[in-house]
């Protein structure tokens, strides 16, 4: 997987907060997944939620990169 270099992007406060909340949710899910008491069906649901979080994060980052490219082109 290619590294994400967010420091090169101008991130507005709303996007920054959204990315932070996605990261926090991801971490909570990972912790829940690691508990012995977490049933297999919940672990499967957690996997789906994590994938949805990754997809949303990638979409936000792609949008930020596109905005940065447009600013450079102007």
Provide the token pair at 9: 């992007």
pLDDT in tens, 46-61: 999 999 999 999 999 8
Provide the token pair at 52: 């949805």
Q: Are 18 and 60 in contact (CB under 8 A)?
A: yes
pLDDT of 39 > 80? The answer is yes
Provide the token pair at 38: 């977490």
pLDDT of 1 > 60? The answer is no
The pLDDT value given to residue 27: 97
H/E run at residue 74: none
* CA dihedral sign of residues 15, 31, 50, 3: positive
Sequence-ordered alpha helix ranges (H) in 1-74: 13-34, 40-73
pLDDT of 11 > 60? The answer is yes
The pLDDT value given to residue 73: 66
């Amino acid at each position: 997987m290619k590294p994400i270099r967010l420091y090169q992007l101008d991130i507005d406060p709303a996007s920054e907060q959204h990315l932070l909340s996605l990261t926090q949710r991801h971490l909570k899910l990972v912790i829940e997944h690691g508990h012995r008491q977490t049933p297999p069906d919940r672990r499967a649901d957690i996997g789906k939620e994590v994938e949805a979080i990754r997809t949303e994060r990638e979409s936000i980052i792609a949008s930020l990169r596109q905005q940065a490219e447009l600013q450079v082109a102007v």
